[in-house]
Copies of this chain bind each other. A is one copy, B any other.
Amino acid sequence: MPDYHAPLRDMQFVLKELLDCQNHYDSLSGPEPVSDDLLDAILDSGAKFAEEVVAPLNRSGDEEGCHFDNGEVTTPKGFKEAFREYGDGGWQALNIPVADGGQGLPSSVGVAIGEMMGSANWAWSMYCGLSHAPVTCLLQAGTEEQKKFWLPKLLTLEWAGTMCLTESHCGSDVGLLRTKAEPQADGTYKLTGTKIFISSGEHDMAENIIHAVLARIEGAPEGTDGISLFIVPKVMVNDDGSLGERNAVHCGSLEKKMGIKASATCVMNFDGATGYLVGEPDKGLRVMFAMMNQARLGTGMQGVSMAEAAYQGSLTYARERLQMRSLSGPKNPEDPADPIIVHPDVRRMLLTQKAIVEGSRAFLYWLSFLVDKVENSTDEEASKHDDDVLNLLTPVAKAFCTEAAFESTNLGLQIFGGHGYIAEHGMEQIVRDTRISMVYEGTTGIQALDLLGRKVMGSGGEMLRNFTKVIHKYCEATTDPEMQQFIEPLAAVNKEWGELTAQIGEKVVNDLDEVGAASVDFIMYTGYVVLAYMWARMAQLSLAKQDDAFYKAKVQTAQFYFARLLPRTKAHAAAMLSGAENLMAFEEAGF
């Protein structure tokens, strides 16, 4: 496995310089204050934990996988202890309000920590991530009593959590779900049904597992309007907080998967399991959607985490591996060959990775600042704007950052040549672990429909226009001649983005299939525009400081991005403008 070193310098650049976190944190009234010193201390401490505790379990976790025996799941060696240490260290409660027993820091601080844990060992970090699911549900819709009862041990990770949504016949189409909930005289419910693909559904890392479950109360309407949300504990909890009997929810089997093998993906059978309603009956999807938005940003962050891990691995290899001479003359004449980092195509692969990972990091950290603001704003108008941008870009963060990360991690493998395909170097594991990110929490296709259908077309283009205006104003305001190399192409794609949307909008009036026909190319196009905006802003901060290699690299990576990656918008534009006919007129017998 490539050694993981938390990219603290780049994280601090994004947080402090690009996003001006000091001003940002000072402007929030809800959370605890975050000084630069506190932030540094948290990042340093998180980095140490990720590098020293979590990363060493990554490769062995993949090799060992999880084991299922008679309903019980054993996680790989060391996972439990690291989970315990993470809970004891208070990491899980970092951005939970103080009133609810957390440390009360803004969400964005947790995002940076999440990136590090994810790079170090994504499969392990999923147990922590899923344990947030019932917490988020309860914070969103639970009563004070429910919060007091369930939250404390979820925050210390004495109890873990899950989110139980998918059934075998219903993945993206959640309205089809069949798990039923029968009301009991004591106000509880008995849940019956089978859920599949439940991450962390069963394991040995905590004394209890709290499932957040979607089910349909008997007699509720069909479709999405009849879905309620329940808390279903693995082990019943007595009123005094002590553990009681085993609840009737059991793991039926573990899935064998391409990757994230150390993450237990379970079939969960609910056989009249006791559940507690959270929020109003039939309104469960609303609560789940809040959680899913968080999960989508978290999955986008998986892209950053994995792409960073792959970049670090392939960069080290490219500096060490000697193979062939530079075409422009030996660069390392004392050895029989040059390090492969001298070859232009290896640099192309490294810079593609660098541009994607740093651009995506900037994008996602920025969104996490919007989350901070939306969660804490008192200014209704500003909050509406931030919330709109956040809602618009959440599917982009999920879809684009994972698709780009898959490309990145594959380039990481490619730089290793044959050695990349071999398990011992860890590069192929990164590719396998990344592959799921384009699928779970809604596939790229589902995100694309959400963006173009629900958000862009659904708002009559307004949500998009509000954001293209932000970029437009930025371009107008940025008059520095040195910046025009970035501003001109950025303004051009920003303008084209609006025009493309208008053209699709005209077609959609006559045929709703035009949405699906354009959607994935549209979301990829959008991602490239957003990253161009991020790279322009990062270059702007760096232009004057190019004596320092760090800043010079920022400017050069931005130049690389604009020269070699942004032109991909041309291909996406042509594809989306080609319309639905080349897809829908195709006769089924012809496939």
Task: Tell me the A residues contacting B by CB distance below 8 Å.
Answer: 166, 169-173, 176, 196-197, 255-259, 315, 319, 322-324, 326-328, 336-337, 341, 343-351, 354, 406, 410, 413-414, 417-424, 428, 431-432, 435-436, 438-440, 443-445, 448-449, 453, 511-517, 519-520, 549-550, 552-553, 556-557, 559-560, 563-565, 567-571, 574-575, 578, 580, 582-591
Contacts and interface: CB of A to CB of B under 8 A. Distances in A.
B435 A421 contact: yes
Given A344-B519, A571-B571, 11 more contacts: A197-B418, A343-B445, A345-B520, A348-B583, A354-B591, A417-B439, A421-B435, A432-B432, A553-B587, A556-B587, A570-B571
6 contacts: A344-B583, A345-B448, A413-B435, A560-B583, A567-B570, A567-B571
B258 A341 contact: no
Ranked 7 nearest A-B pairs via Cβ: A553-B590, A567-B574, A344-B516, A258-B428, A563-B578, A327-B512, A570-B570
A41 B255 CA distance: 42
A582 B346 CA distance: 13
B432 A337 contact: no
Chain copies in the assembled complex? 2
Nearest to A223: B336
Contacts of A406: 410
Contacts of A345: 445, 448-449, 516-517, 519-520
A107 to B, nearest CB: 27
A214 to B, nearest CB: 16
Which residue of A166, A173, A197 has the most chain B CB atoms within 10 A of its CB atom? Answer: A173
A301 to B, nearest CB: 19
Which residue of A413, A421, A568 has the most chain B CB atoms within 10 A of its CB atom? Answer: A421
Contacts of A578: 563-564
A564 B448 CA distance: 17
A556 B327 contact: no
Contacts of A328: 511-513
Given A345-B519, A417-B439, A258 B553 contact: no
Contact of A513 (B169, B171, B315, B327): B327
Contacts of A173: 323-324, 337
A327 B586 contact: no
Nearest to A318: B591
B327 A453 contact: yes
Which residue of A424, A513, A556, A583 has the most chain B CB atoms within 10 A of its CB atom? Answer: A583
Contacts of A170: 323
A512 B258 CA distance: 41
B258 A431 contact: yes
A15 to B, nearest CB: 20
Contact of A571 (B348, B520, B568): B568
A191 B570 CA distance: 55
Contacts of A550: 590
A583 B520 contact: no
A425 to B, nearest CB: 11
Contacts of A440: 418
A586 B438 CA distance: 31
Contact of A556 (B176, B417, B582): B582
A436 B531 CA distance: 30
B421 A552 contact: no
A256 B516 contact: no
A258 B423 contact: yes
A441 to B, nearest CB: 10
A432 B197 CA distance: 21
